[in-house]
Amino acid sequence: MDSTRPVHIGRQALYNAEGQVAAYELLFRDGPHAHEATVRDSAATSRVIVEAFTAFGIEELVGDKLCFVNLTREFLVGALPLPFAPGRVGLELLSGIEVDDELVAAAAALTEQGHRLALDGYTGDPAATRLLPHVHFVKVDMQAGDRRAIARIVDTCRRIPRIRLIAQRIETPEQLELATRHRFQLFQGHILSRPHLITTQALNPSRLARVRLVTELAADDVDLDRAVSTIERDPALAVRILRGVNAAANGLKQPVSSIFQAVVLLGIPQVRQWATLMMVADLAEGDETVLTDAVVRARMCQTVAERRGAGAGATAFTVGLLSAIGDLMGGPATTLTDQLPLTRDVAAAIHGQGDLGTVLREVRSYQRGDAADDLHADLLAALSWTNASLAEPEPAAP
């Protein structure tokens, strides 16, 4: 099984009245030839969120534009976590969702927290109308009713000044003209642009590491060192945690030099939310042998650096781990270092510069079998540590 896998997201633009792209809707796609979502459940939503923020990077996907993500009831009422701060993502309430007191209260609470909500496919029915005081956007299906029905919907929404109207499923010039005449603020549909499939490569996850981490983070008194150790043993999880620190998702500007620092900056609650969501989203198994080799390289870099006094052990581990991840993903080192909030020294080391860069070059050479220095003892120590770490029993079920 490959150590990397292609991940896909559909992205459809929303335009303003001047014809400029004002926002994007992110859509679940389960394959390179999928033209529409095959499912719209919580697992699909989880994959869209996890992959948008941690496989692609939200900045790379949408720039500084607002993006909308379809949410199921589980996310809205708090049964599944929203692991991002309010502001960058519009929370879209799917059409047909059951509207009851619990959902209305949840919508009110999310709006109070600063989230922006969008009501999808509003037709004027009384149940969905209960949500209007708590949403910022209303999407009106331009194919779902006649002109008088659309006029009534527009009139209802105009009574709440905060609401911005989105004309969706615009298929004909006549529908576009109607939406323009009713002064919709945003426009979406195939006549303007179809969803565009975007693909990137992501590391396959280790489900066992995800289970361990969620279990450890659920404790009342979290052992931070142990949690960091669990993250470090799972390269896919490590790079996602690092990406979770990026400024676009969390408003943090400080670069990091180790996984430990990233966890501290992100905070245990955010790490817990991401790990929980990854358990829902990660449906494919990773190649444990290849991923173990990546952890061995990281541990060798740590032991060699500590033995030579070439740098902090945690930083050396992170350098080795990220270099291995870069190799697994098959792209240039700059592709990875440009996407992560790394300190200048760590980024330079991954490129082979500085004392840690020298350590990394020697470890990589030794793994290829052509190193000048004998690092056999370091390799054995790294293998022993990695095998012992990954052989820990799964946590007992609660």
DSSP letter at 342 equals B
Whose tokens are 């007992």? That residue is: 396
Could you tell me if 271 and 241 are in contact, meaning their C-beta atoms sit under 8 angstroms apart? Answer: yes
Contact 216, 222 (CB under 8 A): yes
- Contact (CB, 8 A) for 206 and 282: no
Does residue 315 contact residue 258 with C-beta atoms inside 8 Å?
A: yes
**How high is the pLDDT of residue 119?**
96
Alpha carbon distance 294, 327 (integer Å): 9
Q: Which residue reads 């992560």 in tokens?
A: 340
Residue 10's pLDDT band (cuts 50, 70, 90): confident
Q: What integer pLDDT is reported at residue 285 of this predicted model?
A: 42
C-alpha closest to that of 252 among 237, 242, 260 = 242
Q: Where are the alpha helices (DSSP H) in the chain?
A: 42-50, 58-62, 73-76, 101-112, 126-129, 147-158, 173-181, 207-217, 224-232, 235-244, 247-250, 259-266, 268-281, 288-308, 313-329, 333-337, 344-350, 354-368, 376-390
Query: How confident is the model over 230-272, as pLDDT tens digits?
Result: 787 777 778 777 776 653 345 555 677 888 888 888 787 777 6
The C-alpha atoms of residue 123 and residue 97 are separated, in whole angstroms, by: 13
d(CA 224, CA 243): 19
Give the span between the Cα atoms of 352 and 27, in whole angstroms. Answer: 39
Give the chain's domains with CATH numbers.
4-199 (3.20.20.450), 204-390 (1.10.3210.10)
pTM check: above 0.75:
no
What is the model's pLDDT at position 352? Answer: 84
Per-residue model confidence as pLDDT tens digits over 180-190: 999 999 999 99
Between 136 and 48, the higher pLDDT residue:
136
Measured torsion, CA atoms of residues 207, 210, 211, 214, in degrees rounded to the nearest 10: -160
> Rounded to whole angstroms, how far apart are CA atoms 232 and 86?
28
